[in-house]
Amino acid sequence: MFSLEGKTALVTGASGGIGSAIAITLAKQGARLALSGSNGAKVRAFREQLNDEIGGDHVEITCDLSNATQVEELIPATLDTFGKLDILVNNAGITRDNLAMRMKDEEWDQVIRINLEAAFRLMRAATKPMMKARHGRIVTITSVVGATGNPGQVNYAAAKGGLTAMSKALAQEVASRGITVNCVAPGFIRTAMTEVLPDAQKEALNARIPMGRMGEGSDIGAAVAYLASNEAGYITGQTLHVNGGMAMLG
């Protein structure tokens, strides 16, 4: 069940904490991956690790998501390599936190450009080969913040909320062609960034989670693998919240 044998997938932000966990899970399920990131050396090292530890013939494609030209070239580059694209995972994202009254235009612009606009460009490009194949899976990583808001993150919340709404709209446009479009919304996930937080801050975060702990990257990877599978073929326009009960959203 949930086998991805014979499937090809593009994962953005693939060498980051959540991105690498998603990539590892998809590779274990049999998918062949195009791993994208802005740091070419880091993505290459992760690709070599993935090939060595899990096997497969995965590739890396360096892409700066703030550069519209590079974004537009990412799907064609994946198709040139694989000949098809079955799964697109929009995972990459940045934060530029600040209170709204102090937020600079560039802090707003950078987050919207990378987190929302780049995802739109990739979705738009991916739907063309998927519609021709009459099959496809688009999974976008949003955030609990996109549903609940968070002080100091009006730009991030706007981008993540926008991704959810955009996915719902696209899901309606392409459903008749066998393409599903869904989101996975993580809560607090244990990553290298959260590990350096003081213990008191970690305890405060955990206190907000009914399960009493942060999630793991593999929890997000499992959700993505399910939505990318044939078994999830009748699920579209939905958001799967993976947050340990921190926000119990319908």
Q: What residues are annotated to the active site?
A: 156
Neighbour tally for 245: CB within 10 Å: 12
| φ and ψ of 32, to 5 deg | -95, 130
**Is the CB of residue 51 less than 8 Å from the CB of residue 246?**
no
Quick one: which of 99, 133, 94, 87 has its CA closest to 225? 87
**Is the CB of residue 54 less than 8 Å from the CB of residue 221?**
no
DSSP 8-state class, residue 224: H
- Environment class of residue 22 by beta-carbon count within 10 Å: exposed (0-12), middle (13-18) or buried (19+)? buried
> What is the amino acid identity at position 243?
N
| φ and ψ of 66, to 5 deg | -85, -5
